[in-house]
Chains A and B, each alone.
Chain A
């Protein structure tokens, strides 16, 4: 149980275009979903936290108009990188939490590798 999927696994896009990444919890309802970015040889950096039906909370330094997050249902959150630039190339990982405060284990998706040319 507790499987999280991401789509696509990898994507290459041209500078200036937008890319949408989907994160789905397959066998549980995710009250909260998190989006992370990881640059090579670095730890995960939290970008934003989203709760179903409300606006995402962005971490300091993350442009909310550039990284659009939608958490429309308890099993789906999307991250759209708008007007992508080469510096946005990174490994984007989502995680989902059932939100039970006695068990804050997060279940991670497999990640999406974005390359902007």
Chain B
């Protein structure tokens, strides 16, 4: 079966750095996405990785290792507004999106 694992919840301190991990087992691979979702709102796109390595975009970076079926989202200089759920999503060989359950990130002052 297809499976995506990410921690259910994480807590971090304002101004710090946090890394949210995601491991996946899917039927083929055509890219991995990270989305941010605030409570009661639709997800917003953060990043897309299809090749191994690190993609940096401002305070957010995303890393992919296809051989390990592993990705992480790195958030630096955390702000209170970063409190949200972070969704790891993999596109399989049929271009279908497989959604992780999301990681709820709680930022404390």
Residues of A within 8 A of B (CB): 34, 42-46, 91, 93, 101, 103-111
A44 and B48 contacting across the interface, CB-CB below 8 Å: no
- Asked if B91 is at the interface (CB within 8 A of a chain A CB), the reply is yes
Give the nearest-CB partner of A6 in chain B.
B42
B side interface size, CB within 8 A: 19
Give the nearest-CB partner of B35 in chain A.
A108
Give the nearest-CB partner of A93 in chain B.
B42
A108 and B101 contacting across the interface, CB-CB below 8 Å: no
Complexed CA–CA distance, A113 and B93 (Å): 32
A108 and B99 contacting across the interface, CB-CB below 8 Å: no
Complexed CA–CA distance, A109 and B41 (Å): 9
B43 and A108 contacting across the interface, CB-CB below 8 Å: yes
A106 and B42 contacting across the interface, CB-CB below 8 Å: no
- Asked if B30 is at the interface (CB within 8 A of a chain A CB), the reply is yes
Selected from B31, B44, B91, B99, the residue in CB contact (under 8 A) with A44 is B99
Which residues 7-61 in B have Cβ within 8 Å of A in the complex? 30-31, 33, 40-45, 48
Which residues 81-108 in B have Cβ within 8 Å of A in the complex? 87, 91, 95-97, 99-102
